[in-house]
Chains A and B, each alone.
Chain A
Amino acid sequence: MANYGTNEFKGGLKIMLDGDPHSIVSNEFVKPGKGQAFTRTRVRNLKTGRVVERTFKSGETVESADVMDTTMQYLYSDGEHWHFMNPETFEQLAADKTAVGDAALWLMDEAVCEVTLYNGEPLAVTPPNFVEMVIKETDPGLRGDTATGGTKPAHMETGAVVKVPLFIEEGEKIKIDTRSGEYVSRVK
C-alpha cells in the first residue's frame, strides 16, 4: 500500500486514519518562520460522513486508502439493497442503506452513479448531478402564475420532496439538481 507525505496532501486525497478511509476536504500549511511546520487538515470519514479536523507534523506519512470511484448504472432496489452494474464488465454489486444514504432519494431506473468502493465494497453512492422525475403528488397548480416566485412542496416517486414553482402540476416531469435538491426546470 502506498504512503503519502504531508507535502503530497491535497483535496480529495484518500487516506487511512484510525482504521477508517478518509478523504481530505481541505489542508493548510502552518509554519512559524523559525519553528516546526505542520499541516492542518479537515478530513471526511468515508464510512460515517463525519468531517473532523486533524493536524499532522510536516514529514509525517499516512497510508493511502484503497478507495476507488467507479461509474455504475443503477438497476433496482429489493428494499434492503440497491443493485448496481458496471456497464463495461456487466459486473453487479449490491450497496446497503449506509452506503447509499440520501442518494436513495434520487435513484431511478438506469441512473448513472459514482459508486465509491473501499476494498471492493461499496462505501458511498453519488447520484448524477441532475435527474428527471415525474411528480407523484402536489397541490393543484396556479395556472399562469409564473411571476410571483412562490413555491410549494412536490412529492416524487422515490420519496424525495422538492420545492417547485406554483404553476407546476401533478404528473409533470421536472429536472432536479441532486447536489442541492432544488428544482431546475420543467421537462417537456
Chain B
Amino acid sequence: MTLKTLLAGTGIALALATGAFAQDQTKVGFVYVGPVGDGGWTYEHDQARQAVEAHFGDAVETVFVESVPEGPDAERVMTQMALQGADLIFTTSFGYMDATINVAERFPDVKFEHATGYKTAENVSAYNARFYEGRAIQGHIAGQMTESNIIGYIGSYPIPEVIQGINSAFLHAREVNPDVEFRIIWAYTWFDPAKEAEAASVLIEQGADVILQHTDSTAPQAAAQAAGNVVTFGQASDMAEFGPFPRVSSIIDDWAPYYIERTQAVIDGTWESSNVWHGIPEGMVAIGEITDAVPAEVKASAEAMIEAIRAGEYHPFTGPINYQDGSVWLEDGEVADDETLLGMNFYIEGLTGEIPQ
C-alpha cells in the first residue's frame, strides 16, 4: 500500500514537473514508420529532427517513437505524445493519414503535420516533396552517361510518387539522348536489400549501365560496384560512401528546413494549416554532390538545370508531352498541374510496358 502510494506520488510529481517544464519549452513529436537506423526514409526524418534540436537548442524538446505500425498503434503513439504535452507532431508516413486526422480531432490545440498524404484539417497540415524534380536531374545525367542506352529503374510500389519519378527521369534522359530506353522493375517493397540487389543485377545483366532506384537500401549500389561500369544515384540519403563511382549524385530528402520553419511558426503562434509540396527551391529535395566521374559539361548543364528549377524558371513537366499512346497530355509550353501529378497513374510516350495494377 505504502509502496503503491509512493510510486503513484512520484509519478504525479514527475508529471507535474515535466508539465511545468513544458510551459516554456516547445515540444515536438515525431512518429516514424521504420527504425531510425534504416539508412533511408526514417533515417532522414530523424536527421531533420536532430537539426531541429540543434537549431533551437533548449527552446525545443523533441520526442520520437520509431517502427510504429500503421493503424491503431500509430494513433496511440500520436495521442500519447499529445497527452504528454507535444505542441507539434510530425507523422512521417502516408499510412498515418487517417490516424493523424482522428487524433487531431481530439486535440484541437495540438498542430499536426502529415507527410505525403492529401488530407488536411484546421490543425493538420500535409507536406510532401517534389522528388520528381530531383529525378529530372538524374535523368539528365543518366541519359548522357549511358553507353548502352539502357537505363534500369527499380520502382517500389506502383503509386503516383514513383510513377512521377519514372516519367520525369525518362523525359529528361530522352531529351539529351533520343535513343535511351528504360527497363523498369517493380520490387513491391520499400526496403528489402536482397531483392533490391537481385533487381539491380538483373537490370545490369540486361544491359543497363545506369541504375536508378526508388527503394531505400544501398544494395543496388553494391551490385553496380561489383559490375564495375555501372552508374548509380543515391536515394533518400546521400549514399556518399559509394562515390565518386558508381554513385555519381543523389536525391536527398532534406526535411530539416521545413521542420525548422514549422517549429518556428508554432513558437511564434503563426502556424496555419497548409498543404505544401516543396522541392528544390525550398530545399526539401537536395541534389547530392555530382562527382567528377561525370564529364564537366554534363555536370555544368545539370547544375544549370538545378538552378533553373530553384529559380522557378523551369518545371520538369513542361509540354509538349504525350501520353504513352501518343495522344497529347501537355501542349507546347504547358506546365503540368499539381492535381494531375499527385494522382499520376500513366506513363508518358516512349516508355514501354504497363504499370501493374
| B is bound to A | no
> Interface residues, chain B, CB within 8 Å of chain A?
none
